[in-house]
Structure 1
Amino acid sequence: MGDDTAAPRPVRPIPGGPVAAVVVDTPLAHLDRVFEYAVPEELAAAAVPGARVRVRFAGRDLEGFIVERRAAAEHEGRLTPLRKVVSPEPVLTPEILALCRAVADRYAGTLSDVLRLAVPKRHATAERNLPLLPPTVIPYAAEPARDATSSSAGGGDDVGPWSDYPAGPAWLRRLAAGEGPAAAWMALPTRGSDTDWPEALAVAVHAALAGGRGALVVVPDHRDVDRVDTALVRRLGPGQHVRLTADQGPQARYTAWLKVLRGHVRVAIGTRAAAFAPVRDLGLVVCWDDGDDLLSEPRAPYHHTGVVLSLRAEQTGAALLSGGFVRSLRVEADVEAGRLVPVVADHDAVRSAAPRVVVAGEGLDEERDGPAARAHLPSRAWRVAKDALRDGPVLVQVPRRGYLPALSCGECRSPVRCPRCQGPMGLPSAGSGPTCRWCSAGLGPSGFECRSCGSRRLRAAVTGARRSAEEIGRSLPGHPVITSGSGEVHGSVGSEPAIVLATPGAEPVADEGYTAVLLLDAWASLDLPVLDAPLESLRRWMAAAALVRPGRTVVLAGAPEGVTLPAVEALVRWDPGWLASRELGERRELGLPPAVRMAQLRGSRAAVESALSQLRLPAAAQVLGPLPLEAWSRSGAGRGEVGSDGDAGSWHALVRAPLEATAELTDALAALKAVRSARKEADVVAVQVDPVDGW
């Protein structure tokens, strides 16, 4: 990091009182408020609202942000003076402060927790090297903006991919006119770089600039950022936007963030944390692939990026675009409530763009191929891949990484568990022995003996990416095998014939599209131990299937027999909206999220029971539990055993409330956290609103 002792830039004094209201960086919930400090005369010019400061707090020097300068103190006693103005840069703007407060309130968190994620750490060298004032002339505010306005208004050729959607040109026209339309966009499969979803987002950003406003685009991972970055450079020219991702170094990321703050650029793209980028005159916020779990923040207050962007659009009056090949249930609920207007292609356009999806093992496959029709690589999938490899690459999606990530008993199919921690056992490589994926322990000298039936025979419960690569490479010799997954993710591949094997979310983009896509082990995706398993399976399948060339074949292999599965039906029909609507209707009948608001309390049994006794819930709320929280890993293959001794962290309770009682519920949860924090309760209880797993 740069030299923190660098001389501060001269700043122009800002009128303000002798009192600074400061948000102090402390995780204690009962201290989630502003504190007043006296502003020494020598710091009066630099201590502007939004500046970083250092203050004396509870016997320690802590950092914080000035949120207001006051003429008089509300505190009646003597005020402690500010220790130091770390930087006069007003990094916390009023808009971002209001957004962070809204996010903290929505998720029963603290303001300091959100600020820690919203404002990056200072880099003094970046502050010193970047000019304070933006360029006098912003290139894209001239000729390109006029083009965008005219094309958006007339629905001409420059609307690009939006011409395929009946409501698309009208939405762009309103965006360019400075309005704030909110839309849920169901994107068509890839048909070429000029009609792909990144190009559509670039056109939307161009329309926002035409209206004299800025834009913010948030996507799940850096590969998506690369694609949007390329489309924006092609549409706006180089240097007209910045990217904000975790793979940037501290100086590069802070420099990019400062360019947005100081108005050097008015467009920012990035991953999860970019949702808080201080874009000036914000006119458009975009969230791509709302259902991707990478958009869920794993740190307190555990917010979802889609909700953050919705709050930001509501506060600023910006247009909101939530796009993807499928709709998450949260987006579907907003569509049905009228908060989002659907932007979808008509039936004929969908049929023209969607690939041909076939399910291996159906029809005449079993009669023709026998048991091979339902092998790990079914005969039908093998024939499709062999033919497709004549003129391009073939994508093979497998649901699990590794070699053989899960083992089961060869007789009764019971999962094999670690004798030490009860974690899932797997084979990390060919020739190795079974190893626990949690603690790396083996089966011991006595080997495996099934607890259910006594058998000592093992079988693979699921085949991982590396084992699949071996099998497919042998069955289709003469072609290179490219693997993309954990450890090495490829952003793109060429148009030459090759077998590209990838795990969900790691599929490279082929230059001219894939000639075929094989989706193996469908049952493994459908058996995910989460409530959203059908929608998540469909999201994974469609993300891969959308990369195939128009008119080519997608083979779904490993789907359970003898039953009609809605996720499989939605894939074959290429109708994700139907599945989302069906799932949401069932959730309403059962009282499950997102039809209700849910919160989770986690901790030891005694701590959870104590917290429930302290919690003052709204009358309509309902408590479920406490119950033991089964030990499981989101990437694991099953659930472990939990003892009844109530070890710390092994119990949880759920609180369910109607959506209209959300504010009452989150206020009650925030008050609970404050009370337990003030009492210095030894047993910690984690509180999460809208938990994504574990229940």
Structure 2
Amino acid sequence: MSGAARTAAEVHPIARVLPLLPLAHLDREFDYLVPAEFADSAQPGVRVRIRFAGRLVDGYVVERVESSDHTGKLGWLDRVVSSERVLTPEISALVTAVAARYAGTRADVLRLAVPPRHAKVEGEPSGDMPVVVAPTIDSSAWSSYIHGEAFLDALRASRSPRAVWQALPGEDWAHRIAELACVTVANGRSVVVVVPDQRDLDRVASACEAVAGSDAVIALSAGLGPAKRYRRWLAALRRDVSIVVGTRSAVFAPARNLGLLLMWDDGDDGYAEPRSPYPHAREVALLRAHECGCAVVLAGHARTAEAEALVDSGWAHDLLAPREVVRARQPHVVALADSDHALARDPGARAARLPAIAFDAARTALAANLAVLVQVPRGGYVPSLACGKCRNPARCRRCNGPLSLPSAPGADGAGSPTCSWCGVADTNHRCTVCGSRTLRAVVIGAHRTAEELGRAFPGVPVHTSGGASVLDSVASGPRLVISTVGAEPTAPGGFGAALLLDGWALLGRADLRAAEETLRRWMTAAALVRPGTENGRVVVVAESEIPTVQALVRWDPVGHARSQLEERIEVRFPPAVHVAAIDGTTASITALVEAAGLSDEVEILGPVDLPDGQRAPAGGGEEVLPGDVQRLLLRVPRNAGGALARSLADAQAARSARKSTSSIRVQIDPIRIG
């Protein structure tokens, strides 16, 4: 039908459409006439196609109005892609808030919030709306926490409490989450639970299904596949009440009448989105809770400085157990420095490169028919090598990448030093500094550790968890479980002992969050061990005087988070302030800063050369900057963060309008600053 033959809708004939365009200066609504045949289907929130600059592009109808301020001729909606109103008013407001917080565009945020359409799935019948029966909740477990039962009462009364919950060691935290969710659902309100990975998703979803029934729970993750994921996402959109459990992007799930938003282990770096505008799921959750006024819980065994800042400001409250309860539930923790290895006199301990006390803890647990968890910081066999004489890091002669030992050396040449970047073996490596041919291990990987422990404890089954083979759980009985950080399985009744090896490899990283991340990893593993009253023991190989080690020994994540926050305040880094990291060439950074017109309260740090490892966003993403790039930091007080983001967004829009082609990346409060 030609444009001249078309008739506009009688009521609200103008549709304001947000086109999904990558250009920052086009991040606004454009007015289009609604043909009469689309009068009923072109409602706010639906996907449409419009003609923009001579080509068809996708977009969303934001609203329908009676008139337009545009003085020229208006174009027509080309077609309504689907009558499904996938962009709800709540999610639309959240998308706008996230784009403003991270100096991005709504089109980029929408790509994260709304999955691609699957036409066949959308045409499937919805089926009957599931009836959610209010389950009977035994809230006695919450009496172990100060104000725990009062928090449940607030949820039952449909109030919106905000809390930072420190789960006790050995706690069935997934079941506690299910209880919070079911109390909320019983009042006719939905719940969104966000977890770091698929293992946690399966665990929480199963716990929720056990309490509320499978019909009430929707599990969302990127690994489902386009059709299955979109089917479940539509179920969350169409249901009046549901419990949505998912990974990072589930924080945008279109759950109706949201009553509770809960995030488990908010310090996990998997919550940092690797795609523009690089939002962190925790910050999105807080923005959503603020926009819709729902209850919010940040939970975990450890605590981040960001969570402590929320408690410190009074925005959220502590949900803690009394110290006597913590002491009764925690395992007995002992710290031992690397130098104490020399004190080992047991041949088995020397063979397993364990301190004697760690070897004894493992032997005692195995003798009691209990499993032993051994946490190592790196996977592989020997993931890092150095010169055996001068300790200079061993590098590849071809590409200067780090050399590692992927497997045990063999007579056929297998297990030769191999480059971690280009994969080329270097059988005749010679140190470029001193010329020595000897090599030494800098870090011992999980497979080498498993080999050593297998020799030290003959006849004991040895399992490894990490990389492409992650165990969810292990059977009962004596066994050794060697796990990389973050891949620890569970054991029936808890592990008898946990050995946390090579602590210096975690604590020694040049990272602002190294101490916080190390304690989080240690506490996650230690929480899987039986209480000290049941002879559960944890041995951490690290200097006992280090504050992070002491926080583990005392099981004091709150005190450690408070000290981390105080340090951030002193050195003026997030969350004490807001920081924008601008990566690009010198010319592009200079042009952007000049266009932003920064105020006097903005402190400029740098620029400095950007390391190779940070040319792609943390977590791996679609954008990789070219070589010879620099990073400039802009630091402002917290109350000026919004103004800084607006200035940078306006500068990027001006740069886009000038059709600048140079690569540049803007990240607000990135998890990796240095």
Residue number in structure 1 paired with 2:359: 382
Q: How does 1:242-281 map to 2 (within 5 A)?
A: 242-263=218-239, 265-281=241-257
* CA displacement at 1:78 relative to structure 2: 1.2
* CA displacement at 1:498 relative to structure 2: 1.6
CA separation in 2, counterparts of 1:297 and 1:585? 27
Give the one of 396, 403, 406 matched to 1:428.
406
Give the one of 419, 424, 431 matched to 1:449.
431
Secondary structure of the corresponding residue to residue 662 of structure 2:
coil
Q: Note if 1:672 corresponds to 2:665.
A: no
Secondary structure of the corresponding residue to residue 587 of structure 2:
helix
* CA displacement at 1:497 relative to structure 2: 2.0
Do the aligned residues in 1 keep the contact of 2:351 with 2:456 (CA within 8 Å)?
Answer: no
* CA displacement at 1:133 relative to structure 2: 6.5
Do the aligned residues in 2 keep the contact of 1:160 with 1:203 (CA within 8 Å)?
Answer: no
- What is the identity, as a one-letter code, of the residue corresponding to 1:476? F
CA separation in 2, counterparts of 1:65 and 1:133? 28
* CA displacement at 1:649 relative to structure 2: 5.2
CA separation in 2, counterparts of 1:325 and 1:689? 27
* CA displacement at 1:685 relative to structure 2: 1.1
Secondary structure of the corresponding residue to residue 306 of structure 2:
helix
Secondary structure of the corresponding residue to residue 323 of structure 1:
strand
CA separation in 2, counterparts of 1:655 and 1:609? 12
TM-score for the superposition, normalised by structure 1: 0.89
Give the one of 653, 674, 692 matched to 2:632.
653
* CA displacement at 1:175 relative to structure 2: 1.2
Residue number in structure 2 paired with 1:566: 547
Secondary structure of the corresponding residue to residue 286 of structure 1:
strand
Pick closer, same or farther for the CA change 1:634–1:43 going to 2, 3 Å: closer
Give the one of 333, 354, 363 matched to 1:357.
333
- What is the identity, as a one-letter code, of the residue corresponding to 2:42? A
- What is the identity, as a one-letter code, of the residue corresponding to 2:644? L
Deviations along 1:397-449, one digit per CA (max 9) or x if unpaired, are 11101111111121222222233443322112222222221222444x86222
* CA displacement at 1:682 relative to structure 2: 2.1
Deviations along 1:25-78, one digit per CA (max 9) or x if unpaired, are 111111111111111111221111111111112232211111111111221111
Q: Note if 1:139 corresponds to 2:132.
A: yes
- What is the identity, as a one-letter code, of the residue corresponding to 2:357? R
Residue number in structure 2 paired with 1:151: none
Pick closer, same or farther for the CA change 1:220–1:647 going to 2, 3 Å: closer
Q: Note if 1:179 corresponds to 2:159.
A: yes
Residue number in structure 1 paired with 2:12: 17
Q: Note if 1:517 corresponds to 2:498.
A: yes
* CA displacement at 1:160 relative to structure 2: 4.0
CA separation in 1, counterparts of 2:10 and 2:361? 72
Residue number in structure 2 paired with 1:152: none
Which structure 2 residue ranges, 5 or more long, are not aligned? Answer: 1-8, 410-414, 617-624
Residue number in structure 2 paired with 1:490: 471
Deviations along 1:359-390, one digit per CA (max 9) or x if unpaired, are 23599985563996897322222221122123
Q: How does 1:601-680 map to 2 (within 5 A)?
A: 601-632=582-613, 648=627, 650-680=629-659
Secondary structure of the corresponding residue to residue 606 of structure 2:
strand
CA separation in 2, counterparts of 1:248 and 1:619? 48
Q: Note if 1:437 corresponds to 2:414.
A: no
TM-score for the superposition, normalised by structure 2: 0.92
Pick closer, same or farther for the CA change 1:133–1:235 going to 2, 3 Å: closer
Do the aligned residues in 2 keep the contact of 1:603 with 1:648 (CA within 8 Å)?
Answer: no
Relative to structure 2, which stretch is displaced further, 105-114 or 668-677? Answer: 668-677
Q: How does 1:310-389 map to 2 (within 5 A)?
A: 310-361=286-337, 367=343, 369=345, 376-389=353-366
Residue number in structure 2 paired with 1:4: none
Give the one of 58, 61, 65 matched to 1:66.
61
CA separation in 2, counterparts of 1:506 and 1:647? 33
Q: How does 1:16-415 map to 2 (within 5 A)?
A: 16-131=11-126, 134-135=129-130, 138-140=131-133, 143-144=134-135, 147=136, 158-191=138-171, 196-263=172-239, 265-361=241-337, 367=343, 369=345, 376-390=353-367, 391-415=369-393
- What is the identity, as a one-letter code, of the residue corresponding to 2:353? H
Which structure 1 residue ranges, 5 or more long, are not aligned? Answer: 1-13, 149-157, 636-645
* Number of residue pairs aligned between Structure 1 and Structure 2: 650
Pick closer, same or farther for the CA change 1:244–1:521 going to 2, 3 Å: same
Do the aligned residues in 2 keep the contact of 1:570 with 1:576 (CA within 8 Å)?
Answer: yes
CA separation in 2, counterparts of 1:245 and 1:303? 17
- What is the identity, as a one-letter code, of the residue corresponding to 2:378? R
Do the aligned residues in 2 keep the contact of 1:409 with 1:450 (CA within 8 Å)?
Answer: no
Do the aligned residues in 2 keep the contact of 1:165 with 1:346 (CA within 8 Å)?
Answer: yes
Give the one of 469, 481, 489 matched to 2:462.
481
Q: Percent identity?
A: 46
* CA displacement at 1:130 relative to structure 2: 3.3
Pick closer, same or farther for the CA change 1:609–1:363 going to 2, 3 Å: closer
Secondary structure of the corresponding residue to residue 423 of structure 1:
coil
* CA displacement at 1:557 relative to structure 2: 4.2
Secondary structure of the corresponding residue to residue 667 of structure 2:
strand
* CA displacement at 1:226 relative to structure 2: 1.1
Pick closer, same or farther for the CA change 1:647–1:684 going to 2, 3 Å: closer
Over the aligned positions, Cα root-mean-square deviation in angstroms equals 2.3
CA separation in 2, counterparts of 1:293 and 1:169? 31
Secondary structure of the corresponding residue to residue 82 of structure 1:
strand
CA separation in 2, counterparts of 1:295 and 1:265? 25
CA separation in 1, counterparts of 2:143 and 2:439? 55
- What is the identity, as a one-letter code, of the residue corresponding to 2:493? E
Pick closer, same or farther for the CA change 1:88–1:550 going to 2, 3 Å: same
